[in-house]
Each structure stands twice: as structure tokens, then as C-alpha cells.
Structure 1
């Protein structure tokens, strides 16, 4: 009998398990193998691997320091913004940690207390209510297993099965598909590039240098010829002088874009949601690590006071996440409205070029 089963060991799930693992009996479940490195089967999520200032602030608040072997060259101090339809380009000062996302996730798991039980290579399937709480069912290395627990925490991302099982009648945030390809890159690019083009997406696309590679990604509407629009993006950028040769791999993942504060869902009864499973992700940039760390921190604080009444305390603490989502949505029109974006970029306000 566990106190808490956490589904998903990305930054939200791993951070929560780290914070509560000495107080509660915890089971952590993840599809990936985060205990053993296997070059043929990397345990990586489709992610640009950048720690934005909000994520850096949360890491400091948690009393953690990033090991240097997680950082990759180059470290980034500027964002190159390209507005393709208006043929505009500006450079803005920003500060990002450029990281190896797989190493980052493995590092967070390495910090877990020894008492936390871990089931990697395991897929959560369902749960049923029992007098003591819940009985969960999952498949581990091809074997069907079950476990009993007082609480369940969904930390399993935008496609959260936990959220889907408890929120069938609640409108989820808008879902996009992120397509990202890695290319060999013989030349150095010293900045992160954000690309806007409504013909491609009403969200945005990106280019991120990472060691000897270049990552090209885009957040696309999944039912609107996503692959064709991604290829059109490559074609347009090639015409601007970018080179996308020697492709190494292609990645994909669903991401949320919460447009309303009501689309944040903390959970119900004895089931809590954290990170992107809760709808906690930036609607303006799709940055999610800071929200993953913050929501899991708030849930851990709520559980420090005991299990009884934890969800009400978690919802109260999460009010500032909802406020942040509201402010990000208010900021979005300046980025995603073509006319406002054109005016802002032409003005040169806050740019360094």
C-alpha cells in the first residue's frame, strides 16, 4: 500500500518525488528507462532543452545547482526574432541555460531519496476506487501489475492519461504537435531563434544550436497538414540562408497552450495534476519546466501538512500559476497578432540591433 503513486518522472514528477520521498511511501512510474543509459533507446522528450529565467529562478528557489555536464555549448544570451511575412528581424537580449534535456531528467531522478520505489519502462493504464483510496494498473516490461495507493499524481504531460480519466467533461487547453528535427551544423550560431509566420502556425517555430547540431522545431495544429507546414517552414528558412543538411533524427510530442485560466486543472478528490498535465505551461512560449517545478513544489508544500485537505491547499497555492497564465495570455497579442508584432519590431523597442 503506497501513500502516493506519481505517474511520470519528468521535472514535475521527479521533483515532487524528491521533495516528499522521505515523508511518504512513494511509487514513481515512467515509460522511459531513466535508470540506465542506452544510446539506442534515449530517454528524451521532444524538447528544445533551454532553461528560461523563470526555470532558473525555480531551481534556485529549490536550492539546487545545475551540474556542468548537463550544460551544452553555446550558452545563449540573445533571441533572434524573425517575422517571415513582414520580412523583419530583430535581436533581443535574453538569458537561457542550454542543456542536454535527457541528462537533466536523469539528474533530477538521481536526487530521489532511496526509499522512493521506481518502475521505469512502465506504462500507467487505469485506476479504480477502493476503500483505502485507489488501485492503479500498469504494464512494466510487458507484465501487467497493480498497486494500491491513497493518492495519485498525474505528472504525465500534455497527453496525460491521468487527466483524461478524471476530466472527460472539462475543456482541456488547445493541443499542438511539436515537430523537431536535429541536423549536423558545421557553423556556430550564438543565439536562439524564434520564428513567426501565420502561414505555418498561429503559435511559433524555433532554431536552437546545441553543440555540433541545429534543432529546428515548430508548434503546429495537429489536424492542419502539420508535416506539410513544417516542410514549408524549412523551405522558407532555406531561402533566408539557413542550411538543413544531414538530418540526424526527428522528434515529436503534443504540447498544450492554455488560453483560459479555467483550463488549469489541479485535480479532484485524491488525484492531483502537476506540470503540463495540469495545463501549466506558458501560452506565449510553450516553456514548461518552470511550471513543472513550481506546481510540484506547491503540491509538496501542501502534502507537508498531511494528506487530509491537501487538494484545497494545493489549489490555493496554485493561484499564482493561474495569474501567471493570465498575464502570459495578455502578453500574447503583441507576439502573435501580425500587425502588433510588426509595430513592435519596427519600433526597435528593447532590441539590441
Structure 2
């Protein structure tokens, strides 16, 4: 019998387990195999691997510092903005930590107390309500296993099975599919590049240098000729001098884009959601690590006084995230309306000459 079962060991789930593991009996389940350093069953997280200023701030609040072996070259101090609709190109100062996302996840997991039961390479199947709380079922080593828990935490991202089971798909954020490929690059790049092109997507695309290769990604509408639009993006960027001929790896994943406050959903009864499963992700940039750390911290603080009433305490603490998401949505028109974006870029305000 566990006090808390956490489904998902990304930044949200791992940070929560780290914070509460010495107070509660915790079970942590993840489909990736983090137990084996050389496992081929690790599925790459479709993530640009940039630690934005908001995420850096959360690490400071948590008293954490990034080990240097997690970082990759080059460190990035500027964003190049390419506006295909208006044929504009500008550069803005912004500071990111450029990192290896898998190593970042492993680092967070390494700080989880040893008394937390970590079950990797496992697939969560579902739960049923029982008198003591819930009985969960998951597949591990091709066997179905059950466990009892008082609380379930969904930290399982934009494809959250926990959220689907408790919300009946009501008030779901808009969902995009992120496609990302890595390419060998003979020419060094030094900027994070954001591409805006309404022919490709009403969100954005990105180029991120990582050591001697480039990541090219795009957040696309599902079932809307996604493969063709990704290939069109590559063709357009080749005309600007980018080289995407030496593909190394391709990955994809769903991401949320919450445009309404009702789409930010923290759970019900003794089932709580954290990170992107809750819809906590920036609707303007798709940055999610800061929200993962923030929601997991708020939930851990809400559990300090015990299980009874934790959900109400959690929802109260998370009110400021609602205001943050509202502010990000107010910012979006300046980024995604081509007419407003044209005025902003042509003004040269905050740009590097």
C-alpha cells in the first residue's frame, strides 16, 4: 500500500518524488528505462533541450544548480527570428542553457530518495477506486502488476492517460504534434532560431544547435498534412542556406497549447495533475520545464500538512500559474499575428543591430 503513486518521471514527476520521497511511501512509474545507462529502450524526449530563464529561476528557488556534464555547446545568448510571411529576419538577446535533455532527466531522477520505489520500462494501464484509495495496474516485464495507493499523480505529459480517465476529454488544451529531426552540420551555428510561417503552422518552428549538429523542429496541427508541411519547412530553410541533408534521428510527440484558463486542470478528489498533464505549458513558446518544476513544488508544499485537503491547498497555490498563462496568451498575438509581428520586428525594438 503506497501513499502516493506518480505516473511519469519527467521533470514534474521526478521533482515531486525528490521533494516528498522522505515523508511518504512513494511509487514512481515511467515507460522509459532510466535504470540502465545504456538502455536502447530510452525513448528520446521530443524537446529542444533549452533551459529558459523561467526554468532557471525555478531551479534557483529549488536550490539546484546544473552540473556541467549536462550542458552542450554552444551556450545560447540570442534568438534569431525568421518571419517567412513578412520576409523579415532579426536578432534578439535572450539567455538559455543549452543541454542534453536525457541527461537532465537522469540528473533529476538521481536525486530521488532511495526509499522511493522506481519502476521503469513500465506502461501504466489504468486504475479503479477502492475503499483505501485506488488500485492501479501497469505492465512490467510483460506482466500486469497491481498496486494500491491513496493518491495518484498524473505527470505523464500531453498524452496523459490519467487526465483522459478523469476528465472525459473535457476542456482539453489544443494539441499539436511536434516533429524534430537532428542533422549533422558542418557549419557552426550560435543562435536559437524561431521560424514563423503560416503556410507551415499557426504555432512556430525552431532550429537549435547541439555540438556538431542541428535540431530542426516544428509544432504542427495533427492530421493536417504534417509530413508534407515539415518537408516544406525544410525546403524553405534550404533556400536560406541551411543544410538538412544528413539526418541522424527523428522523433515526435504531442504537446499542449492551452488557450483558455479552463484548460488548466489540476485534477479531482485524490488524483492530481502536474506539469503538461495539467495543461501547464507556455501557449506562446511551448516552454514546459518551468511549469513542471513549479507545479510539482506547489503540490509538494500542499502535501506538507498531510493528505487530507491537499487538493484544495494545491489549487490555491497554483492560482498564480493561471495568471501567468493568461499573460502568455495576451502576448501571443504579437508573436503569431503576421501584421502585428511585422510592426514589432520592423520597429527594431529590443533587437541587436
Normalized against structure 1, the TM-score is what?
0.99
Give the aligned CA root-mean-square deviation in angstroms.
Answer: 0.8
Q: Tell me by how many angstroms 1:233 deviates.
A: 0.3
Q: Quick one: distance in 1 between partners of 2:275 and 2:157?
A: 7
Using the alignment, how far apart are the partners of 2:169 and 2:285 within structure 1? 27
* Superposed displacement of residue 262, structure 1: 1.0
Paired residues, number: 353
Give the Cα–Cα distance (whole angstroms) in 2 for the partners of residues 318 and 201 of structure 1.
31
DSSP 3-state at the match of 2:3 = strand
User: Does residue 1:223 correspond to 2:227, yes or no?
Assistant: no
Deviations 1:146-198 (A, max 9, x none): 00000000000000000000000522000000000000011211110000000
Is the counterpart of residue 273 in structure 1 residue 273 in structure 2?
yes
| Residue 22 of structure 2: aligned partner | 22
Distance (whole Å) between structure 1 residues aligned to residue 53 and residue 169 of structure 2: 35
Q: How many Å apart are 1:143 and its aligned residue?
A: 0.9
User: Is the aligned partner of 1:346 residue 2:351?
Assistant: no
Q: What are the equivalent positions in structure 2 for 1:36-47 lying under 5 Å apart?
A: 36-38=36-38, 40-47=40-47
Unaligned runs of at least 5 residues, structure 2: none
1:42 positional shift: 3.3
Residue 316 of structure 2 corresponds to: 316
Looking at structure 1, the residues matched to 276 and 45 of structure 2 have their Cα atoms a distance apart, in angstroms, of 13
Unaligned runs of 5+ in 1: none
Alignment partner of 1:124 is 2:120 = no
Offset from partner CA, 1:220-266 (integer Å, 9 cap, x none): 00111011000000000001111102100100000000001110000
Which residue is equivalent to 1:232? 232
| Counterpart position of 1:335 | 335
Show CA shifts across 1:9-40 (max 9, x none). 00000000000000000000000011212263
Map 1:128-277 → 2, pairs under 5 A: 128-277=128-277
Aligned residue for 1:147, secondary structure, equals strand
Q: Please give the alpha-carbon distance, in whole angstroms, between the structure 2 residues aligned to 1:139 and 1:155.
A: 17
Hey, what's the Cα distance between the residues in 2 that align with 1:94 and 1:146?
Answer: 47
- Aligned twin of 1:59: 59
TM-score of the two chains, using structure 2 as the length reference: 0.99
Give every structure 1 segment of 4 or more consecutive aligned residues whose post-TM-superposition deviation is greater than 2 Å.
38-44
